[in-house]
Amino acid sequence: MTLPEDALAHLQRVLQTAEPPGDRYTLQEPVGQGGMGTVYRAFDRALGRDVAIKVLRGDVADAEAAVRLEREARILARLEHPGIVPVHDVGVLADGRVFYVMKLVRGRRLQEFARSASRSDVLRVVLRVCETVGFAHAHGVVHRDLKPSNIMVGAFGEVLVLDWGIARVVGIGRAAAGDGAGNGPPPPPVGGLTSVTSAGDAATGPAPDPVTAPGTVLGTPGFMAPEQAQGQPGLADARTDVYGLGAILRAVVAGEPGGQSAPRPLAAIWARALSADPTARYPSAADLGADITRFLDAQPVTAYREPFHERAGRVFRKYETAIILVLTYLAVRLLFLAMRGF
Amino acid sequence: MNKPMLGLVLGGALGALDGLSALASAPEVKPHIMGIVVGSMGKGLVAGILTGVVARKVNNLAIGIAVGIVIAALLALPFALAADPATGKRYFWEIMIPGSIVGLIVGYATQKFGQPVPQRS
């Protein structure tokens, strides 16, 4: 027996519907779509507020994807930070698909923001992303899919790192995994994230990346580190995200790879972050952020040894007004001296 | 460095240099240079700390510059009006203009580079 076309279409629509069970959430329109899930705007009747619900897409709703989405929710719940969207709830739809409820964020994606913002404003946003990613690293989480479309800039200056769907939980020692009482772990040693190889090592947090087998390539071309592109998920650590941050920096500052118009120190910063050899990159997102801060403060950056004339130019630009004032003073003195001569 | 301290250091240093510059602009005052330098430095110290204190209270570049100029000019005025005891000559603009520029520099620097004093809770 074959179903008529309209009946099939209706069934497909029903399948794509992601109404959560119960009557707490009223699903509204979709507001975004990722590799695994669709994000809907929804209304939380219990608390009288808008929320976002991420639901596993019907066409990828296999066991692996379900595990990933659930892990994403747990990772997000673990990472309490102003730069990470808070998760309110997690559950399973009537058809078995996993969903989670999070804060509804409004804003522009980084690439859109960068089109109308000044370079220093864009750099400050990237700096905030470095801080957020550094926080995740300190809690044993590597994002692995950092790109401009995963960064949201809110109307009030909020900077949020989105889509932790392929994030990897790595070990930073049992103490660093948190004490279960909401107290965060101490910052890890530089580059100190190491892969967890057994679930027991991460008993206090989400399971350690049980779904990424060697040879699996996860990430976005142009933004994923070579070790990711080669399908070596076990090698992913903080420096993998440093590569992604460098790629973001290059993309939003220079627009296109190469970045000919960018200042050399800035280009050197992303060049170091984008080194094919992980050991040549900045050891952590914090170190990358520190170099961006130095650039913003017109200080020398560690990634670039500047020649004398560039250093002189940088110092002049930094103290331009003060130097002009002193020169004015000297000019006045010389003027009086010259007037005495006449 | 906090704003009053920066004003003090900068005012003193620039005041001393300003006094020393008299050697170039009016070599005939050489016998009195020590007194000129000390007087100019003292003037710079007073102008600097006053400008720094104002800068700590008012966090505004334009006001800081204006205050620096006014304080420096007021402190320079008696020296500018006084005649050189040796020659009887006055150096009004030679003292007022550079002195005011020094005030401008101190006013600018204290606002721009001085660290605000942390608020007590």
Q: Give the pLDDT band of residue A183 (cuts 50, 70, 90).
A: very low
Q: Give the pLDDT of residue A229.
A: 82
Q: Give the pLDDT band of residue A11 (cuts 50, 70, 90).
A: low
Q: Give the pLDDT band of residue A266 (cuts 50, 70, 90).
A: very high
Give A-chain residues touching B94 at CB under 8 angstroms.
Answer: 336
Q: Give the pLDDT band of residue A214 (cuts 50, 70, 90).
A: low
For chain A, what percent of residues have pLDDT higher than 90?
Answer: 38
Contact A332 B97 (CB under 8 A): yes
Tens-place pLDDT, residues A12-62: 665 555 666 667 888 888 888 777 788 899 999 899 999 999 988 877 667
Whether the CB of A322 is below 8 Å from some CB of chain B: the reply is yes
Give how far B120 is from chain A: nearest CA, Å.
26
Q: Which helix (H) or strand (E) holds A194?
A: strand A194-195
Please tell me whether residue A190 adopts helix, strand or coil conformation.
Answer: coil
Tens-place pLDDT, residues A57-114: 877 667 888 888 888 898 889 899 999 999 999 988 877 788 899 999 889 999 999 9
Residues 6+ apart with CB under 8 A from A323: A316
Whether the CB of A329 is below 8 Å from some CB of chain B: the reply is yes
Task: Give the span between the Cα atoms of B42 and B20, in whole angstroms.
Answer: 13
Mean pLDDT of the region B35-42: 89
Closest CA relative to residue A28, chosen from A44, A12, A15: A44
Mean pLDDT of the region A281-305: 94
Q: Give the pLDDT of residue A318.
A: 83
Mean pLDDT of the region A211-237: 73
Q: Give the pLDDT of residue A121.
A: 94
Whether the CB of B25 is below 8 Å from some CB of chain A: the reply is yes
DSSP A39-88: EEEEEETTTTEEEEEEEE-GGG-SHHHHHHHHHHHHHHHH---TTBPPEE
Give A-chain residues touching B25 at CB under 8 angstroms.
Answer: 333, 336-337, 340
Tokens matching residue A122: 């864009």
Is pLDDT larger for residue A230 or for residue A268?
A: A268
Closest Cβ opposite residue B101 in set A321, A322, A332: A332
Contact B98 A332 (CB under 8 A): yes
Entry pTM = 0.68
Q: Give the pLDDT of residue A212.
A: 56
Whether the CB of A328 is below 8 Å from some CB of chain B: the reply is yes
Which of the residues A23, A59, A121, A145 is marked catalytic? A145
Residue in chain A lying closest to B104 (CA): A325
Q: Give the pLDDT band of residue A188 (cuts 50, 70, 90).
A: very low
Q: What value, to the nearest 5°, has the Cα angle with vertex A193 and ends A190 and A195? A: 155
Q: Is A145 a catalytic residue?
A: yes
Q: Give the pLDDT of residue A207.
A: 42
Is pLDDT larger for residue B111 or for residue A2?
A: B111
Give B-chain residues touching A327 at CB under 8 angstroms.
Answer: none
The stretches of A79-206 forming alpha helices (DSSP H) are 110-116, 119-138
Whether the CB of A309 is below 8 Å from some CB of chain B: the reply is no
Give how far A315 is from chain B: nearest CA, Å.
14
Task: Give the span between the Cα atoms of A41 and A37, in whole angstroms.
Answer: 13
Closest CA relative to residue A171, chosen from A140, A137, A199, A207: A140
Residues 6+ apart with CB under 8 A from B20: B33, B37
Closest Cβ opposite residue B25 in set A325, A326, A337: A337
Give how far B27 is from chain A: nearest CA, Å.
10
Average pLDDT, chain B: 86
Contact B108 A321 (CB under 8 A): yes
Whether the CB of B101 is below 8 Å from some CB of chain A: the reply is yes
Residue in chain A lying closest to B99 (CA): A329
Residue in chain A lying closest to B102 (CA): A329
Whether the CB of A337 is below 8 Å from some CB of chain B: the reply is yes
Q: Give the pLDDT of residue A206.
A: 43
Whether the CB of A13 is below 8 Å from some CB of chain B: the reply is no
Q: How many A-B residue pairs are in contact by the CB < 8 A criterion?
A: 33
Closest Cβ opposite residue A329 in set B93, B101, B113: B101
Q: Give the pLDDT of residue A187.
A: 41
Closest Cβ opposite residue B25 in set A326, A328, A333: A333
Whether the CB of A336 is below 8 Å from some CB of chain B: the reply is yes
Average pLDDT, chain A: 80
Tens-place pLDDT, residues A122-138: 999 999 999 999 999 99
Q: Give the pLDDT band of residue A196 (cuts 50, 70, 90).
A: very low
Confirm if A248 and A220 have CB atoms less than 8 A apart.
no
Whether the CB of A106 is below 8 Å from some CB of chain B: the reply is no
Residue B68 above 60 pLDDT?
yes
Mean pLDDT of the region A254-277: 83
Contact B21 A333 (CB under 8 A): yes
Residues 6+ apart with CB under 8 A from B34: none
Q: Give the pLDDT of residue A218.
A: 67
Closest Cβ opposite residue B24 in set A325, A332, A337: A337
